[in-house]
A and B are shown apart, each in its own frame.
Chain A
């Protein structure tokens, strides 16, 4: 166990609190920088998706995890970022201009969505953000002069001040990594300053926040705007990664995936966004395996245990038809969310912390350390 002797307020302000942080995050960063030179293009491409999802995860963490405002409209923010990039690029605007421009535009739209949020809480806010997402989807389909409607839009190769950045190259990977690290640092900076604490105050008790001098309206709008702006950045990267964008890519299911990123990762820390992103991106390869490999494997195991070959091939076909059934992805998502909320509400990062503590305390760990119990319910009178 590490005992930290504090002699200076700076020790509590620092992001990397002690040498252990420097070592572990330094090594992690070194691995991530070296990664594209060692792994194949498929894996690198998957990692790029993890990075993009993690950026959105950080954005959603600020809004939902820290400010306590749920949103099922982040696919729409991603779409606005993506289409801004696509449209401005087609006008010949350089990347270094439309990258921040997408963030600013998405941030402004986010602030506009934040205003109705001032009077809505809980499920009603979720409904309002879903409505917003549908409106954006509809606009993208109808505003053909800009978005090419349902035909979709081709996004050309990213051009970084004259240097072409192909979507599966190392530079694109580093650009995503840099954006993720940047948004994480920004989120952590906010968290250690008055604004971040105001967000947390709004999440835990609006009444107390108000009487401590927090302007609820201003901070909710700020939270929406920051979250949307970061999602807009992710949208630009997403557009370049996909090379083709169309309205049906930014549906409710994508918003649900984003919410899952933070539920599965753990909604109380930035780590959760990254853990959740890794998990979500891994669901697709898993589903493919379920469709292709698992039935074959099951059939061969069955026949080696003496099953007739026609019965075995029937089993394989049944399993693969289940594996490729429409809506299976949604069902699995639903099941995963339920499992996490029931058994690990603190997500993968919470589980990680528990495992870490087990080893830190090793022979002394008590089984009941994280036993959940009913706690004092606070009054809702002043809401």
Chain B
């Protein structure tokens, strides 16, 4: 049984096939990268996995369970967290509040208990905070706890988004272009963190990335995509040497 499997999934917007029967599977503890030119359908695949889009056909399996019909808000509870290409943080809240929203899928308290703020709610809040602090320490975000997101620089926001995803204690994390908009140094940090997420936290990483040096450094396997179709799958070196991939990027 595979950890995570995408089985010939397709997504059609009218006449446009954004994703055309794509299949791949990710093993537990792997760093799996999807590459491809702009508009190849990479982010569409992510949106399909996090159930923001409904696939036209095909199925998704996570830990042996069919998640094709699961509503989007239950995906996090199953153990799949994600980040967004264009940063979707809660701008007018502090970083701490953002990370605590990441804990939402583990919230157990009832509305009436929260209105009265019973001791059970306080206890649960402290537990959430404890987990959040672990992530803050893991990603070195101690300086920003009380800061509003709206006032933070882009590079920090990018890391906070990863942190928010980690706060939900996922088994699989989807990173949508973790290095876009980052400078060389920040990209280096990100590559260390991505490897640490896998090796220290034991979380499987599925990412979309354009920066080939980052892809080469961290990925175990790479899938190349163009016009919604899979061109090649394999190690980074294999995929980059594949004639179809070269043709897609350089135009042969």
- Decide: B91 and A204 in contact? CB cutoff 8 A: yes
Which residues in A have their C-beta under 8 angstroms from that of B247?
none
B window 81-108: CB within 8 A of A: 81-82, 84-93, 96-97, 100-105, 107
Counting contact residues on chain A (CB < 8 A from B), the size range is 35 or more
A window 172-195: CB within 8 A of B: 186, 189-190, 192-195
Bound form: Cα–Cα A156–B105 in Å: 49
Q: Is A379's CB within 8 Å of the partner chain B? A: yes
- Decide: B52 and A210 in contact? CB cutoff 8 A: yes
Which residues in A have their C-beta under 8 angstroms from that of B109?
193-194
Bound form: Cα–Cα A276–B87 in Å: 34
Q: Is A213's CB within 8 Å of the partner chain B? A: yes
Counting contact residues on chain B (CB < 8 A from A), the size range is 35 or more
Q: Is B60's CB within 8 Å of the partner chain A? A: no
- Decide: B130 and A208 in contact? CB cutoff 8 A: no
Bound form: Cα–Cα A231–B84 in Å: 38
The chain A residue sitting closest to B82, CB to CB, is A211
Q: Is A207's CB within 8 Å of the partner chain B? A: yes
Q: Is B115's CB within 8 Å of the partner chain A? A: yes
Which residues in B have their C-beta under 8 angstroms from that of A207?
52, 84, 88
Bound form: Cα–Cα A190–B125 in Å: 12
Task: Please give the distance in Å from B18's CB to the nearest CB on chain A.
Answer: 12
- Decide: B101 and A201 in contact? CB cutoff 8 A: yes
Bound form: Cα–Cα A197–B107 in Å: 11
- Decide: B117 and A189 in contact? CB cutoff 8 A: yes
Task: Please give the distance in Å from B131's CB to the nearest CB on chain A.
Answer: 11
- Decide: A186 and B115 in contact? CB cutoff 8 A: yes
Task: Please give the distance in Å from A194's CB to the nearest CB on chain B.
Answer: 4
Q: Is B184's CB within 8 Å of the partner chain A? A: no
Bound form: Cα–Cα A357–B89 in Å: 27
**What are the interface flags for B115-158 relative to A under an 8 Å C-beta threshold, 1 for contact and 0 otherwise?**
11100011001101110000000000000000000100010000
- Decide: A214 and B104 in contact? CB cutoff 8 A: yes
Residue in contact with A212 in the complex, picked from B86, B93, B101, B114, CB distance below 8 Å: B101
Q: Is B223's CB within 8 Å of the partner chain A? A: no
Residue in contact with B104 in the complex, picked from A186, A197, A379, CB distance below 8 Å: A197
Task: Please give the distance in Å from A27's CB to the nearest CB on chain B.
Answer: 24
Bound form: Cα–Cα A190–B115 in Å: 5
Q: Is A9's CB within 8 Å of the partner chain B? A: yes
Residue in contact with A382 in the complex, picked from B52, B105, B130, CB distance below 8 Å: B52
- Decide: A211 and B76 in contact? CB cutoff 8 A: yes
Q: Is B73's CB within 8 Å of the partner chain A? A: yes
- Decide: A200 and B96 in contact? CB cutoff 8 A: no
Which residues in B have their C-beta under 8 angstroms from that of A216?
73
Bound form: Cα–Cα A9–B105 in Å: 21
Q: Is B50's CB within 8 Å of the partner chain A? A: yes
**What are the interface flags for B60-81 relative to A under an 8 Å C-beta threshold, 1 for contact and 0 otherwise?**
0000000000011111110001
Q: Is B179's CB within 8 Å of the partner chain A? A: no
- Decide: A378 and B126 in contact? CB cutoff 8 A: no
Task: Please give the distance in Å from B195's CB to the nearest CB on chain A.
Answer: 24
Which residues in A have their C-beta under 8 angstroms from that of B115?
186, 189-190
Bound form: Cα–Cα A209–B107 in Å: 14
Which residues in B have their C-beta under 8 angstroms from that of A203?
90, 92
**What are the interface flags for A210-238 relative to B under an 8 Å C-beta threshold, 1 for contact and 0 otherwise?**
11111110000010000000000000000
Bound form: Cα–Cα A380–B90 in Å: 14
**CB-CB under 8 A for A12 and B129, given A197-B104, A208-B84, A212-B168:** yes
Name 14 interchain pairs, CB-CB below 8 A, sorted by A: A9-B126, A189-B117, A190-B114, A195-B111, A197-B104, A200-B90, A201-B90, A204-B93, A212-B102, A213-B73, A214-B101, A376-B87, A376-B154, A378-B91
With A197-B100, A211-B82 known, 6 other A-B pairs at CB within 8 A are A9-B130, A200-B92, A204-B91, A209-B101, A212-B104, A378-B91
A-B pairs with lowest CB-CB distance, top 3: A213-B105, A213-B76, A208-B88
* A interface residues (Cβ-Cβ under 8 A, vs B): 9-10, 12-13, 186, 189-190, 192-198, 200-201, 203-205, 207-216, 222, 268, 375-376, 378-379, 381-382
